[in-house]
Amino acid sequence: MSLIYTIDLAGTFVFTVSGALAASDKKHHHDIFSVFFTGFITAIGGGTIRDVLLGAYPVVWINNMDYLLAIFAGVLFTLLFRRYIIRLYRTLSLFDTIGMAIYVVLGVQKSIAFDVNLGAAVILGMMSGIFGGVIRDTLLNEIPLIFRKELYATPCLLGAGLFVILHSLQVEEQLNFLLSVLFIILFRLFAAKYHWSFPRLQFREEADN
């Protein structure tokens, strides 16, 4: 559990950095405040939405200062080393995937502990992983990534589903955690490498075009 807590805080740090950098691509004014704010929202958004929907008070970062410290460290790191971080984008993106996978599975675990139905546990797990980015993109007036890169949210949904199934089959909890996290990471890496996507749906008749 202590290992998972460490990984959780490391995930918060990495999410803050990648969140702050994502904002820096945009056309608008970018200063210390917006680095802090976009990093903060990206890091805590998903878990906060999950906790509010579960009624799991107090919301985690409000009670526990460690998360805010991890975010401050992430912001400081971004401000000091931003030119180097951008060159290491590929490495950062790997860490981001790892952090997201952990957030998803932790989110499913917490939801199950609150006795929700299993479909809701899967959805709340996915939201834990991706809603920080969704809120950030929405505030920045961008269409969230989940509507642009279709295999961004799907690995989270499937990995959350895998955890729920193995949990029902009474697979040992830590093994299940590891397998589900690995599944999400590998799925995303392969999807990115081989450009997997769902077929685009046709909603209009061909004659319309």
Interface residues with a copy of itself (CB under 8 A)? Answer: 21, 24-25, 28-35, 37, 40, 48, 52-55, 57-59, 61-65, 68-69, 79, 82-83, 86, 114, 116-120, 123-124, 134, 138-144, 146-148, 150, 153-154, 157, 197-201, 203-205
Task: Give dist(CA 166, CA 173) in Å, integer.
Answer: 9
Q: Least CB distance from residue 158 to a copy of itself, whole Å?
A: 11
Q: How many CA atoms lie within 13 A of 70 on its CB side?
A: 20
Q: Least CB distance from residue 178 to a copy of itself, whole Å?
A: 26
If the CB atoms of residues 24 and 174 are measured against a copy of itself, the closer one turns out to be: 24
Task: Give dist(CA 167, CA 144) in Å, integer.
Answer: 31
Report phi then psi at 143, rounded to 5: -75, 125
Report phi then psi at 29, rounded to 5: -50, 135
What are the helix (H) ranges across 117-206? 118-139, 154-168, 173-193
If the CB atoms of residues 5 and 178 are measured against a copy of itself, the closer one turns out to be: 5
Tell me if 78 sits within 8 A of 22, measured CB to CB: no
If the CB atoms of residues 153 and 160 are measured against a copy of itself, the closer one turns out to be: 153
State the CB neighbour count (10 A cutoff) for residue 57: 10
Q: Least CB distance from residue 193 to a copy of itself, whole Å?
A: 19
If the CB atoms of residues 34 and 93 are measured against a copy of itself, the closer one turns out to be: 34
The DSSP letter of residue 145 is: G
Q: Which amino acid is at 163?
A: F
Rg (CA), the chain: 18
Helix axis angle for 32-54 and 89-113, nearest 10°, is 20
If the CB atoms of residues 193 and 204 are measured against a copy of itself, the closer one turns out to be: 204
If the CB atoms of residues 3 and 65 are measured against a copy of itself, the closer one turns out to be: 65
